[in-house]
Amino acid sequence: MPHLHIESFKPLSFPASCGDVEFDFIAHGTGRTDESLIATRYKGREFFLVHKKSGSKELLKSDKITRPSPNFLLKHALLAYAKCAELTVLDSNVDNAPENAHLKTHDALKTIDFFAQDFPVDREVRIEVGFGSARHLLHQAQANPDILFIGLEIHKPSIEQALKQIVIRGLSNVMVLDYDARLFLEFVPSNVVGKVYVHFPVPWDKKPHRRVISEAFLNESDRVLKPGGTLELRTDSEEYYRFALETFSSPAKSRFEVTKNRDIAISSKYEDRWKRLDKNIYDVTFTCETMSPEAELPGDFTFASTSSSLEAVNRIGQETHKRDWGFLHVERVFTIGETTAMIRLAMGSFDRPENTYVIVEQGRTRYFPTLPVRSRANLEAHKLLNELLHG
């Protein structure tokens, strides 16, 4: 992750502008003085830079929760702050290379808000989960120009490489999203997807709850797939293969088929390596057979209009509030000036929690920098948070 090892940290006079980067405020951690967050705006994106102390070492780096993509945005902001605050940089893995020309011209990279607000339904959609090198995603998009392909990936370098190739190949039917696939399907309308590809997911043999394939993921896939649409798992893991067989067998009615060592038109570099090692490769394909009703997600993320206080934040504490639908947990509290607090939350489902920030100031409570993803568990977590702050 891009970072600067600095001699000592110097705050600016906030708000501040450093060239084309704006720094709005700084939030200081309470109870501990090892972390501060700097609210940053650049090229329409809002995110935090982090000043972190670790022993005698001081770092300026990215906040994991709000980290922007592509990496150029973060690197530019780090260098801008260091320059304007006149920091002495002892060591750095941040270069000052200009923005990749291919990334400047693309519009394929989307945010979750794009899909949550107005999901594209004018043509068939296919979704690839964890596209990695993007060989399969790009091949399918070139071969099927009338179909919209949505690629999900959380590995930043893979995303940037895919975006570069999308521009080079002139593809207009690919959208890329940095997001957890287990959450993403909740935002997809029913009966619009032709295929969901899950090729060589991380097996998570020691943490099976982190696997993409689950009963909940299968149910959501069945809802978004149109009749005849398929969910395709391709894996070299014997354990994952057997786990998928059990999961795909769980519904009262289901249809799926299994093939072994099937050749496909395009393969990843990892698949090529496994074939050279004579590893078995399994395909487990689930087929949707019925139409599904649209999913309903009542509620929103507005807070009560009554004022909050720092005392209300302290009342929540740092315990984990557990419920049937999931949980709410305050990970850390920050202060912004003398009268405003900010809390870092983990919330939602135990299997797929979301991390976010909430600013609590006189007469107003708001999420920062964006609202949580509008999932069922997150809406329930918001209701609980609203009660704890304003009840």
Q: What is the predicted pLDDT for the residue at 245?
A: 94
Pairing of strands 109-110, 174-177: parallel
Structural contact between residues 213 and 233, judged by C-beta atoms closer than 8 angstroms: yes
Structural contact between residues 36 and 351, judged by C-beta atoms closer than 8 angstroms: no
Q: What is the predicted pLDDT for the residue at 296?
A: 83
Which pLDDT tens digit goes with each residue over 181-229?
Answer: 888 998 899 999 999 999 999 998 888 888 999 998 999 999 999 999 9
Q: What is the predicted pLDDT for the residue at 208?
A: 86
Within 10 A of 12 (CB to CB), how many other CB atoms are there?
15
Nearest to 192 by CA among 219, 223, 218, 220: 223
Interior angle at CA 18, CA 16 and CA 24, nearest 5: 30
Cα 147–chain centre separation: 24
Which pLDDT tens digit goes with each residue over 20-40?
Answer: 999 999 999 987 778 999 999
Which pLDDT tens digit goes with each residue over 143-170?
Answer: 999 999 999 998 888 998 999 999 999 9
| pLDDT classification of 352: cutoffs 50, 70, 90 | confident
The 8-class DSSP code of residue 85 comes to T
* Residue 379 reports pLDDT greater than 90: yes
- Mean pLDDT comparison of 43-52, 66-75, 103-112, 260-269, highest-scoring range: 43-52
Residues 6+ apart with CB under 8 A from 385: 316, 328, 345, 347, 358
Q: What is the predicted pLDDT for the residue at 308?
A: 64
Nearest to 165 by CA among 98, 111, 106, 97: 106
What crossing angle do the helices spanning 238-248 and 215-224 adopt, rounded to 10°? 60
Structural contact between residues 286 and 259, judged by C-beta atoms closer than 8 angstroms: no
Handedness of CA 188, 189, 191, 192 (dihedral sign): negative
Q: Could you name the CATH architecture of 107-287?
A: 3-Layer(aba) Sandwich (3.40)
pTM metric for this prediction: 0.73
